[in-house]
Amino acid sequence: MGRRGKKKGRPISGWLVFDKPIGMGSTEAVSKIKWLFQAEKAGHAGTLDPLASGMLPIALGEATKTVPYVQDGAKVYRFTVAWGEERSTDDLEGPVTKTSEKRPSETEILALLPKYTGVIMQTPPQFSAIKIAGERAYDLAREGETVDIPAREIEIGRLELIETTPEGNSVFEIECGKGTYVRSLARDMGRDLECFGHIATLRRTEVDPFTAEDLVTLEQLEAAVPQAREGEEVVLSYAAIDAYIVDTGAALECLPQVAITDDAAAKIRLGNPVIIRGRDAPVEAEEACATARGKLVAIGAIEAGMFKPKRVFAG
């Protein structure tokens, strides 16, 4: 007998803006969403620690081609720093490594915030996915090694003190660029304030271009999964769960948009360049989106009034 082909799943494409619960890893979340949608392919745009909750954009099918654009988008986090203790992981997971009886005043905290706004240098945590000599830093840290992780440039657009909790912890909100470690921020602020600190709670509320209105919980998805009655052959309807999918093109709002005809779309999908018509069409662009009937056709360059496809999407 010939070998049976492995079931591929559904060729569904788009973004699922998942509200990841605490305790679930990002890779686990992708596997769960892929299974719920019975999707052929899935991937996420930006890791979220298991102890963190909130927005984890998950790309399905053709949307995986747009992951880099979402990864580069600005992110917003709300987080709580517990003062008085520094921990090996810079969050609640690791053991306490340093302690202090000092607690910072609101005045001291507010005076420090400008230091952490704008383009700054930041050293990632020992427990991070940064590769050191080909190995993940967190693997080396778990083996008891202290590794020298070089500082790197990040950008923080906004950092605000929101409130002080009854326990004396500080709640902040930050808007930052790619590669920012909020755990490192808590560690570094604690050292500057000479009281030490670590992340007690962390929630990602936005990943550009998505907003909190796009968030979908695991409970919502599980309630929408199609069910087949036992002993009956039923064609499952995925309409309820598919309604949560955001169009693939939503990830590319940062790029110039060019509307094309169906004939031009057919040519582009074969890898051919087409002439861009219309008085509002850009003459030059390193990257732009071509759409037909509002649906994404390709990402490409515009040179001398010609759209030249670089990455094509299925119709």
What does R_g of the chain's alpha carbons equal in angstroms?
23
Q: Reduce the DSSP state of residue 288 to 3 states and report it.
A: strand
Q: Which residues contact 225 (CB under 8 A, 6 or more apart)?
A: 36, 241
Instruction: Note whether 182 and 174 are within 8 A (CB).
Output: yes
CA distance 71 to 15: 13
Exactly one of 49, 90, 188, 208 is catalytic; which is it? 49
Torsion of CA 223, 62, 43, 47, to 10 degrees: -100
Location of structure tokens 């400008």: 114
Element (H, E) at 28: helix 26-37
Beta-bridge partner residues of 172 = 79, 161
What is the C-alpha separation between 29 and 34, in angstroms, rounded? 9
What end-to-end distance do the CA atoms of the chain give, in Å? 36
Using CA atoms, how far residue 158 sits from 79, 109, 113, 278, in Å, is 13, 15, 9, 39
**The one-letter amino acid at 41:** K
DSSP assigned state of 246 = B
Q: How many CB atoms lie within 10 A of CB 210?
A: 19
Dist. CA 57–CA 130, nearest whole Å: 21
78 in Cβ contact with 173 (< 8 Å): yes
- Active-site annotation holds for 90: no
List active site positions: 49
